[in-house]
Amino acid sequence: MKILKKIQTLLGVATLVLLAVGLWFVYNAPEDFQQGGAVRILYIHVPSAKMALLSYLFLTVASALYLWKRSETADILAEAATSVGAAFTAITLASGSIWGKPMWGTWWAWDARLTSMLVLLILFKGLMVLRNSMDDPVKGARATAILAIIGAVDLPIIHYSVVWWRTLHQPPSMAASGNAGVHISGPLLPPLLILSGAFMLMGLYMVTVKARQIEARRRLDALESARMHPDE
Amino acid sequence: MLKAIYRIAWKDVAGDLRRRATLSSMLFFAISVLIVFQAAFEPDRKEALRLLPGLLWATTLFTTLVGLGRVFQAEEEDGAFEGLLLASVPRGVIFFGKWLGNLLLTLLVEFLILPLTLVLFNVDAWSHVPAILGILTLGTLGLTGLGTLLAAMTRGARSRETLLALLLLPLTAPMLIAGVQAIAGVLLQNGAVEPWLKLLIIFDLVYLAMAPWAFGWLVEE
């Protein structure tokens, strides 16, 4: 945990710099010949979506570590990643919706990725509520870790089931070995890559701040209960 | 092992059949859901046929929540849950016992609800009843498996039943999609049933393989 305190400022500054550079590139990037200016929304949308999934991955690893090693640090990081992931998922849904209105002509469609993302948001929320509704913090931590792993197994099934169900969202546009689908063109790529990096740093920064907050709160709770029950 | 599973399941089912507590509340809850759907959509015969798959699954899902809220009710008092855990069988066996009890009650309600739905909504799908029951059963295996695990997970949580719904509904999305599509395929005779059945089987296998293991972690002291 001490290392988090040391890197927090550094991470924060690096995030700010990279965000500023990325946004400068976005501002100067050419407009898409079909999408016009609205394409700029995707520079926020795509990195947030990446971060939403990465946060879940991080959460799964931290949860597994907690169950395996019983390390409180892993549990604190898992709790931090849950709220950060929820935030990025919400940003992904909101920015996608704003982009969808002019491009697809609708705020929302029950498409594979949109549906999976919505389920992901509810899952993050469920994890937060589950932890908070347990009186015994250890039980809460264990139940949350198990649910996170179940969710990790279920998310691919959810994703493929909705893919079979309906698909409107275009295939990934940055993958090198894509099909003959949509591909992102040269000048639009640098801002996307820089912002992806910036969002990754921002995610790490948010997890750091949140984790330190959670640790402080747990220490306070421990002090409080020691004061209330001095003889235990 | 099998005997232990059966004993635990039968303890719950027999107890409930005698008190009729869970069974009757599930049944009447399901009927109220059907009334709500009728009042909300007022489908004519043709619409009712189109709505039927979703209607059946939505009713099943909501009704399952009622049953799941009570899975561990018998173990609530006098440290009975700890007593159950002391049984000299693996924790996974205890899980399967609780799951089987819940599964039997849920299936019983589904089997009663299906003809009732066909009558109340005036749908002529009697020739498809065995296929529909089969699909409902297939989905219910995994649904109650996941549900029993989540019920164990939320044991001792505040506002448990709301929490159970919040956790169960998103995770069952694949089952709901596959189940609805499979029944729709049967009713419309358009042949697109098999892939959805496969998805239901995958869903069942994943949860029934994962849940006993997770249950063991969950109740470990």
Instruction: Decide if B157 touches A, using CB distance below 8 A.
Output: yes
Does B106 or A1 have the greater pLDDT score? B106
Contact state of A164 with B163 under an 8 Å Cβ cutoff: no
Q: Is residue A72 part of a domain?
A: yes
Q: Which residue, among B92, B68, B206, has the nearest Cα to B150 in the 3D structure?
A: B68
Q: What is the pLDDT of residues B144-199, one digit of tens each?
A: 999 999 999 998 888 888 899 999 998 998 899 899 989 998 988 876 788 889 88
Q: Are A188 and A30 contacting, i.e. CB atoms less than 8 angstroms apart?
A: yes
Instruction: Check residue A178 and give its pLDDT.
Output: 43
Per-residue pLDDT averaged across B199-220, rounded?
Answer: 90
Instruction: Check residue B219 and give its pLDDT.
Output: 85
The two structure tokens encoding residue A154: 């279920």
For A96, half-sphere exposure in the C-beta direction (CA atoms, 13 angstrom radius) is 22
Instruction: Decide if B159 touches A, using CB distance below 8 A.
Output: yes
Number of neighbours of residue B171 by Cβ within 10 angstroms: 26
| Chain A interface test: which of B153, B169, B181, B200 (most A C-beta within 10 Å) | B153
pLDDT surpassing 70 at residue A184 = no
Q: Are A11 and A201 contacting, i.e. CB atoms less than 8 angstroms apart?
A: yes
Instruction: Check residue A199 and give its pLDDT.
Output: 92
Query: How many domains does chain A divide into?
Result: 1
Question: Chain B partners of A114 at a C-beta cutoff of 8 Å?
Answer: none
Q: What is the pLDDT of residues A86-130, one digit of tens each?
A: 999 999 999 988 888 888 888 888 877 888 899 999 999 999 999
Q: Is residue A180 part of a domain?
A: no
Contact state of B177 with A162 under an 8 Å Cβ cutoff: yes
The mean pLDDT value of chain A amounts to: 85
Q: What is the ipTM of this complex?
A: 0.87
Contact state of A122 with B170 under an 8 Å Cβ cutoff: yes
Compute the distance between CA of residue A128 and CA of residue A124 in angstroms, rounded to an integer: 6
Contact state of B171 with A142 under an 8 Å Cβ cutoff: no
Instruction: Check residue A166 and give its pLDDT.
Output: 64
Contact state of B153 with A130 under an 8 Å Cβ cutoff: yes
Q: Which helix (H) or strand (E) holds A157?
A: helix A137-165
CA A85 to chain B, closest CA, distance in angstroms equals 17
Instruction: Check residue A229 and give its pLDDT.
Output: 82
Lowest mean pLDDT segment, chosen from A158-167, A208-217, B152-161, B197-206: A158-167
pLDDT tier for residue A155 given thresholds of 50, 70 and 90:
confident
Q: Is residue A175 part of a domain?
A: no
State what percent of residues in chain B have pLDDT above 70.
99
CA A34 to chain B, closest CA, distance in angstroms equals 34
Q: What is the pLDDT of residues B49-67, one digit of tens each?
A: 889 999 999 999 999 999 9
Residues in contact with A216: Cβ distance below 8 Å, sequence separation at least 6, in sequence order: none
Contact state of B154 with A130 under an 8 Å Cβ cutoff: yes
Contact state of B166 with A126 under an 8 Å Cβ cutoff: yes
Instruction: Check residue A180 and give its pLDDT.
Output: 46
State what percent of residues in chain A have pLDDT above 70.
87
Q: What is the pLDDT of residues A3-59, one digit of tens each?
A: 888 888 889 999 999 999 988 888 887 776 667 767 788 888 989 999 999 999 999
Instruction: Check residue A176 and give its pLDDT.
Output: 47
CA B39 to chain A, closest CA, distance in angstroms equals 25
Instruction: Check residue A179 and give its pLDDT.
Output: 46
Instruction: Decide if B199 touches A, using CB distance below 8 A.
Output: yes
The two structure tokens encoding residue A59: 């959460």
Q: Is residue A154 part of a domain?
A: yes
Compute the distance between CA of residue A111 and CA of residue A53 in angstroms, rounded to an integer: 18
Residues of A with CB under 8 A from a CB of B: 67, 115, 119, 122-123, 125-126, 129-130, 133-136, 139, 142-143, 146-147, 149-151, 153-154, 157-158, 160-162, 164-165
| Ramachandran angles phi, psi of A182, nearest 5° | -80, 140
pLDDT surpassing 70 at residue A171 = no
Instruction: Check residue B161 and give its pLDDT.
Output: 86
CA A151 to chain B, closest CA, distance in angstroms equals 7
- Facing A161 at nearest CB: one of B154, B166, B173: B173
Compute the distance between CA of residue A107 and CA of residue A87 in angstroms, rounded to an integer: 19
Q: Is residue A179 part of a domain?
A: no
Question: Chain A partners of B169 at a C-beta cutoff of 8 Å?
Answer: 122
pLDDT surpassing 70 at residue B221 = no
Instruction: Decide if B219 touches A, using CB distance below 8 A.
Output: no
Name the residue range of residue A123's domain. 2-170+186-228
pLDDT surpassing 80 at residue A150 = yes
pLDDT tier for residue A168 given thresholds of 50, 70 and 90:
very low
Per-residue pLDDT averaged across B10-36, rounded?
Answer: 87
Q: Is residue A178 part of a domain?
A: no
